[in-house]
Amino acid sequence: MSAREHRQTDSVAVATLDTGVGRGHAMVHGPSTPSRTTGRTVTRILVYTGKGGVGKTSVAAATALMSARRGARTIVLSTDIAHSLADAFGVRLGPEPSEVAPNLWGQEPDVYFNIGRYWRTIQTYMAELFSWRGLDAVMAEEMTVLPGMDELGNLLWIADHVESGKYDVIVVDAAPTGETLRLLSLPEASRWWLDRIAPIGRRVSRISRPVLERMIGVPIPRDEVFAAGERLLKRLEQVHRLMADPERSSIRVVLGLEKLAIAEAQRSFTYFHLFGYPSDLVVCNRVLPPNVGGYFEGLRKTQQTYLPEVERQFAPVPVRTVPYFDREIFGIDGLGELGEALFGSDDPTAFFYRGRPYQVRTANGATFLDVALPFTSKEEVGLSRDGDELVLQVGSWRRTLVLPRALIDVPTKGAKMNDGVLRIEFQPRTRSTAQGGTR
């Protein structure tokens, strides 16, 4: 009997880990610089996010500009519905890529353009449904733009650009952290929908659609509508695979040296690990110089108090600083100056840190799954098992982690938490479990 056929929900108590493995993100493989243009085998993906107002758009734009100047074909796109990328460059950007500088393209996707590109079939059905309720055609089309569609369509562009092969580097100016986390958790929900709901809906539609439409007159979705929905959700899964690939993608957190921005950065750092997205850099923006003096001296001292704490808390992920310039930074020249201050002669697309949010390891005959959850205490973690899935909850965020094949039929022994690492222990494999025995 397979694990999916024999589903058993187990609650797993989280204790304190007696012997840790260091910080949850301390699985270091060393920095690596990707090859340039013709030698690049995979498209590099860099996602910049942070609390609203910390300057992530400028940092993302400057990174893209430096990447392009170093010879990589680079595109920078905004997934924030309040686009400001065009303002940062001082140019007009539209829903499709347009050239900003040599080797550099920019894009600010538009919701209606995305709808036509990604879910026209679904929109047509929804417009038909709203029209049945008596709305005129224009209002019905407006009602089909559901909340979240804009951000979702923006995210799907990442997979399109990877598949096109036109770009070596994709830099994403993401929405503020809360919206970005909600957006990046969508692939998890889509997998659940594809596995459990879509097959039932399609079968019901095939069997009862003609009868229901005659009885109640409501347009029932046809098979092509379900097919379009499944294509969309599978596309979301593909985006998740790309962004969770530690050989391709990195999340970079931008913060200001102030209490609220640091606290939000810590939470988002935890949640990115929860959903399996690797991080390789933290950027402290608008750091006041030593000689600022006068009115800003108190603020500078506060920043200098926070900076070593940030470096310690996020270690071994490196922390870089960007100075507070004495003028507004925008346009190619200004962004170039920001990029030089941040990266100097370093490659902005390099992996400044390599580490996996979770890994499977064995020790003394036992198997462990280590999940990095930095800035998290055991009281904040909820953990349960349902067949071949582990359900992790940290605060209000929940993530379903499908176990590796080797652990599907192995019972869970317990879990412990220490120093930002959740270590889940599995019982030693016996002859019965190796042959597919049940719990």
CATH code at 20?
Answer: 2.60.40.790
Residue 196 sits in the same domain as residue 310: yes
- Structural domains counted in the chain: 2
Domain membership of residue 2 (yes or no) is: no
**How far is Cα 414 from Cα 187, in angstroms, rounded to an integer?**
28
Same domain flag for 182 and 320: yes
Tell whether 19 and 120 lie within a shared domain. no
In a domain, 159, yes or no: yes
Closest-CA residue to 66 (of 352, 345, 351): 345
Question: Would you tell me how many other CB atoms lie within 10 Å of the CB of residue 411?
Answer: 17
pTM: 0.72
In a domain, 268, yes or no: yes
Are 243 and 277 in the same domain? yes
- For residue 181, tell me if it sits in a domain: yes
Q: Which helix (H) or strand (E) holds 400?
A: strand 397-402
Claim to verify: residue 415 and residue 281 sit in the same structural domain: no
For the chain, how far is it from start to end, CA to CA, in angstroms?
11
Residues 210 and 224 reside in one and the same domain: yes
pLDDT at 281: 96
User: Based on the domain organization, do 288 and 314 belong to the same domain?
Assistant: yes
Q: Measured between alpha carbons, how far is residue 237 from residues 40, 187, 193 in Å?
A: 24, 5, 11
Taking a C-beta distance cutoff of 8 angstroms, is the pair 371, 392 a contact?
yes
- Please provide the average confidence, as pLDDT, over all residues in the chain: 76
Are residues 391 and 293 part of one domain? no
Which domain covers residue 363, as residue numbers?
Answer: 9-25+356-434
Q: Residue 3: inside a domain, yes or no?
A: no
DSSP bridge partners of 412: 426
Final residue in a domain of this structure, among 296, 331, 355: 355
Number of residues assigned to the chain:
439
CATH number of residue 326's parent domain = 3.40.50.300
- Given 355, 386, 421, which residue is the final one in a domain? 355
Backbone angles phi, psi at 261, to 5 degrees: -65, -40
pLDDT of 73 higher than 80: yes
In a domain, 34, yes or no: yes
Answer whether residue 4 shows pLDDT above 50. Answer: no
Highest mean pLDDT among 219-228, 292-301, 330-339: 330-339
Residue 53 gets the label, from left (phi > 0), alpha (psi -120 to 50) or beta, of left
Interior angle at CA 372, CA 157 and CA 191, nearest 5: 40
**What pLDDT is attached to residue 8?**
38
- Cβ neighbours of residue 366 closer than 8 Å, sequence gap 6 or more: 413, 425, 426, 427, 428
Residue reference for tokens 């003096």: 293
What are 406-439's pLDDT values in tens digits?
677 788 888 988 888 888 988 876 554 444 443 4
Res. 5 pLDDT band, cuts 50 70 90:
very low
Same domain, 343 and 279: yes
pLDDT of residue 137: 54
Specify the pLDDT at position 182: 64
Q: What are phi and psi of 108, to 5 degrees?
A: -125, 90
Residue 305: how many CA atoms within 13 Å on its side-chain side? 8
Residues 177 and 156 in one domain: yes
Which domain-ending residue is among 307, 330, 355?
355
Q: Has residue 302 been placed in a domain?
A: yes
Q: Is residue 81 predicted with pLDDT exceeding 70?
A: yes
Same structural domain, 327 and 369: no
Write out the E strands in 81-189.
98-101, 104-107, 169-173
The pLDDT value recorded for residue 108 is: 92
| Lowest model confidence (mean pLDDT) among 104-108, 357-361, 390-394, 407-411 | 357-361
The DSSP symbol for 351 reads B
